[in-house]
Amino acid sequence: MRHTPPVRSQDSETAALDLNVGVTERATQTERAGRKQTRAVVFAAFTVAAIATLTKVPHLLRAAEPERVSTSKRALAPATFYGLDTRLLKSAAREIPPGATYAVVSGGAGPSRFVRIAEKTLLDYWLLPRRRTNLRSSQWIVSIGGDLQSLGLRYTHVVRAGDGMELAHRLR
């Protein structure tokens, strides 16, 4: 890279300064051009990002549209979102008193394995403060496709809560 010849000066110190000024000016010019270029790229990048974002705005506004949904519907949304039968949740919450304990038995009858797992998991959340314990210590049995009679337990009453789903209060 060729530098601009330094201005001749009377003494060496001044000459050195002039040389520096020449290089600095050139460097400053290059830097300025570089910064200008950088600013242009930043501006262009923001513009592209903004245009891309604008294409999504209608979709975003639709997704964020507030819609008054009933409390019960919102509360049951975890079940409906996964296509689960909400009758079991409703019946269990109605029949099993808060503070009682329950156990869950499942079997091949009724829904698929995924649904059984999902329903079991959702029950634990939904029925609190009712606690899920083991079969031996529980006061209630929730059957999801299971066979209540095969457990060898006695019940005060059994409630049918949906396809292949039952609730049973144990006789103690």
Partner 1 sequence: MRTAGPLVLDVALLGLGEAVLVGLGVVRSRGQALRCIGLAFIVGWCVLGTALVYVLILGASLELWQPIALAAALAAVALALGRVIPAQADLVERGERGAAQVIAVSAAAFLVGYLALLGLHSALTTSPTGWDTWAFWLPRAKAIYFFHGLHPQLHGGFASFAHPDYPPLLPAFDATVFRFAGAASVLALPFQDWLLAAAFVAAAAVLLRRRVRPAVLWPALCLLVLAPQFGASIGEGYADPQLARLVALAAVCGGVWVLERDGRLLVLTGILLVGASLTKREGLGLALMLAVALAVAARVEGGRGWSRALLLVPTVIVAVLPWQVWLHFEHVAYTPDYSLRTLLHPRYLLDRLGRLSTALEHLPRVALSFDHWLLVLPLALLLAVLAIRARSSLAVLVLGLIGTGYLGLACVYWIGTLPVTVYMRTSASRVVASLVLLAGALTPLVASELLRKGHAPSHPNHDIQDGV
Residues that bind partner 1 (CB under 8 A): 34-35, 38-39, 41-42, 45-46, 48-50, 52-53, 56-57, 59-61, 63-69, 71, 74-75, 77-78, 81-82, 101, 121-122, 124-126, 128-134, 137
Q: Give the number of other CB atoms < 10 A from CB of residue 60.
A: 10
Strands (E), the chain: 101-106, 131-132, 140-144, 155-162, 165-170
Residue 21 C-beta: closest distance to partner 1, Å: 18
Nearer to partner 1, 3 or 56 (CB): 56
Please report where in the chains the tokens 């396809």 appear, as a residue. Answer: 163
Peptide bond into 98 cis (omega under 30): no
Residue 34 C-beta: closest distance to partner 1, Å: 8
Nearer to partner 1, 16 or 41 (CB): 41
Residue 55 C-beta: closest distance to partner 1, Å: 9
- Could you give the dihedral angle defined by the CA atoms of residues 152, 154, 157 and 161, in that order, rounded to the nearest 10 degrees? -20
Nearer to partner 1, 7 or 77 (CB): 77
